[in-house]
C-alpha cells in the first residue's frame, strides 16, 4: 500500500531536458506527426519530461512503488504555450491524490513543466495505477 502521507508531497525537479531539433524530429517521426524545423513540437512531446518526473517518483525508495506494477491510467495536458526547439525544460511532480481501488493504489499526480525562466509551459496530469504486490 502507498501511504496517504504521500498526498501533497512535491518531488525534486527532473534533470533539465534540452529540446533539440533531433529530439523533436525523432518524436514526430515515431508518431507520424507532420513536423518542420520551424514548427512547435507535437502536442504530447512534453511527456518526455513529465515521464522523467514520474520515474523520479517511482524510483524513490521511500514511496514504495514498484515500477513493474505500475500502469499509466490517464494523462492530460494543459498548455500555456507550445514547446519549441531550444527550450530547456524541467518537470516538478506533486502527488495530488492516493486512492485505493480493488487492491490497487491509484495515484493522481501533476507535473509542472517549466522553462529556463521558471515559467510554466504545461501542466501534465497523470494517473498511475499501482497493483498490490504478492511478495513475488
Partner 1 sequence: MSTLEPGTDLPPQEYVVTRADLVAYAAASGDDNPIHQDEEIARAVGLPGVIAHGMYTLALAARAVQEWAGGPGRVEQVGAKFTKPVVVPAGDEGTTVRVAGTVKSVADGRATLALTVTCGEDKVLGMPTAVLRV
Candidates 60, 79, 99, 106: give the one binding partner 1 (CB under 8 A).
79
42 binds partner 1 (CB under 8 A): yes
Q: How far is the CB of 95 from partner 1 (least distance, A)?
A: 18
Length of the chain as a residue count: 136
Candidates 18, 78, 116, 132: give the one binding partner 1 (CB under 8 A).
78
97 binds partner 1 (CB under 8 A): no
> What is the secondary structure of the chain as a DSSP string?
---GGGTT-BPPPPPPEE--HHHHHHHHHHHT----TTSPPPTTTTHHHHHHHHHHHHH-TTT---GGGEEEEEEEEEESS---TT-EEEEEEEEEEEEEETTEEEEEEEEEEE-TTS-EEEEEEEEEEEEPP---
108 binds partner 1 (CB under 8 A): no
21 binds partner 1 (CB under 8 A): no
Candidates 5, 32, 62, 136: give the one binding partner 1 (CB under 8 A).
32
Stretch of 57-65, 74-82, 96-104, 105-113 lying at the interface with partner 1 (CB under 8 A): 74-82
Stretch of 5-13, 64-72, 86-94, 100-108 lying at the interface with partner 1 (CB under 8 A): 64-72
Amino acid at each position: 500500500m502507498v501511504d496517504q502521507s504521500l498526498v501533497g508531497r512535491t518531488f525534486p525537479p527532473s534533470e533539465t531536458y534540452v529540446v533539440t531539433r533531433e529530439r523533436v524530429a525523432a518524436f514526430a517521426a515515431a508518431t507520424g506527426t507532420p513536423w518542420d524545423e520551424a514548427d512547435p513540437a507535437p502536442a504530447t512531446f512534453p511527456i518526455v519530461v513529465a515521464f522523467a518526473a514520474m520515474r523520479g517518483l517511482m524510483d524513490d525508495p521511500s514511496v514504495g512503488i514498484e515500477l513493474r506494477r505500475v500502469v499509466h491510467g490517464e494523462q492530460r495536458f494543459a498548455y500555456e504555450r507550445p514547446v519549441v526547439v531550444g527550450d530547456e525544460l524541467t518537470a516538478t511532480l506533486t502527488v495530488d491524490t492516493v486512492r485505493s481501488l480493488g487492491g490497487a493504489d491509484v495515484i493522481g499526480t501533476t507535473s509542472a513543466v517549466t522553462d529556463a525562466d521558471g515559467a510554466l509551459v504545461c501542466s501534465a496530469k497523470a494517473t498511475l495505477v499501482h497493483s498490490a504486490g504478492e511478495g513475488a
